[in-house]
A and B are shown apart, each in its own frame.
Chain A
Amino acid sequence: KNQQVKISKFFHVA
């Protein structure tokens, strides 16, 4: 099953 990933996994607080 495909698991939706969070965008914050890729983009971090600058």
Chain B
Amino acid sequence: MFEARLLQGSLLKKVMEALKELLNEAAWDCSDAGIQLQAMDNSHVSLVSLNLRAEGFDKYRCDRNLSMGMNLGSMSKILKCASNEDIITIKAQDNADTVTFVFESPDQDKVSDYEMKLMNLDQEHLGIPETDYACTIRLPSSEFARICRDLSQFGESMVISCTKEGVRFSATGDIGTGNIKLAQSAKVDKEEEAVVIEMQEPVSLTFACRYLNSFTKATSLSKSVQLSMSPEVPLVVEYKIEDIGHVRYYLAPKIED
């Protein structure tokens, strides 16, 4: 059987919010290493990769590798029934066709369980090549969310340009043009407030704002976000999930034709 107990149930609620705008359904692949999820959005322009390590769970048991196809809309409805303080347990029998979510209140005076039907998803797994990125930018996640929200008012595309001076986000459209320049933080007193840029070579790429805004639904997971860019390859937007894992979004660029 499979059983994973997470003391900080709120993390799973936040993961749900981070996935459900982009994905309708996905396979949760469980092994003794942990839980992995990888899926493309419907338009096949972006890919989401989630990893939750077994060690991050209060209790984790996976007798046999298990892939659980879930409708994320339904799963989101169930997770909305959990309070932020609840302990959340996911469990399933081997080759079961349902999964059960158990929510325990901190003082155990209320225990809820919800059983959900699983789906058969023949999801193909994509290989993500190891890449040594030309630029990586770490910045406060709230800052990135604000930039995406503000600039997406000006155009459907955003240009992200990274040089040794800093990183510039730009968008242009009918009402005009917006540019936001972030300089590398001079002093890094509070780690998560810093803007840290590692640049091997300057890079400038164009991306669709709507996907970037969908990625920022993960903002509540981590105080900082990391962007990785190389010429002509997908952007990576990564949010760490406490000490249990991460969610990574890959977005294909828009190319001058």
Q: Is the CB of A5 within 8 A of B124?
A: no
Provide the bound-state CA to CA distance between A6 and B257, in Å: 14
Choose from A5, A13, A14 the contact partner of B252 (Cβ within 8 Å). A5
A-B contact count (CB 8 A): 59
Whether a CB of chain A sits under 8 angstroms from the CB of B47 is yes
Q: Is the CB of B44 within 8 A of A6?
A: yes
Q: Is the CB of B125 within 8 A of A14?
A: yes
Interface of A is mostly: mixed
Whether a CB of chain A sits under 8 angstroms from the CB of B256 is yes
In the complex formed, the residue of B with least CB distance to A6 is B44
Provide the bound-state CA to CA distance between A11 and B236, in Å: 13
Whether a CB of chain A sits under 8 angstroms from the CB of B14 is no
Number of A residues contacting the other chain (C-beta, 8 Å)?
Answer: 14
Q: Which A residues are in CB contact (< 8 Å) with B124?
A: 13
Number of B residues contacting the other chain (C-beta, 8 Å)?
Answer: 24
Interface 1/0s, chain A 1-14, versus B by CB < 8 A?
A: 11111111111111
Provide the bound-state CA to CA distance between A10 and B257, in Å: 17
Q: Is the CB of A2 within 8 A of B254?
A: yes
Interface 1/0s, chain B 45-66, versus A by CB < 8 A?
A: 1110000000000000000000
Provide the bound-state CA to CA distance between A13 and B125, in Å: 6
In the complex formed, the residue of B with least CB distance to A8 is B44
Chain B 101-144 residues near chain A, CB threshold 8 A: 124-129
Q: Report the minimum CB–CB distance from A1 to chain B (whole Å).
A: 7
Choose from B128, B157, B255 the contact partner of A11 (Cβ within 8 Å). B128
Whether a CB of chain A sits under 8 angstroms from the CB of B253 is yes
Choose from B127, B128, B251, B255 the contact partner of A2 (Cβ within 8 Å). B255
Give me the interface of A with B, judged by CB distance under 8 Å: 1-14
| 10 A-B residue pairings within 8 Å (CB atoms) | A2-B157, A5-B45, A7-B46, A8-B44, A8-B126, A9-B252, A10-B252, A11-B129, A14-B125, A14-B127
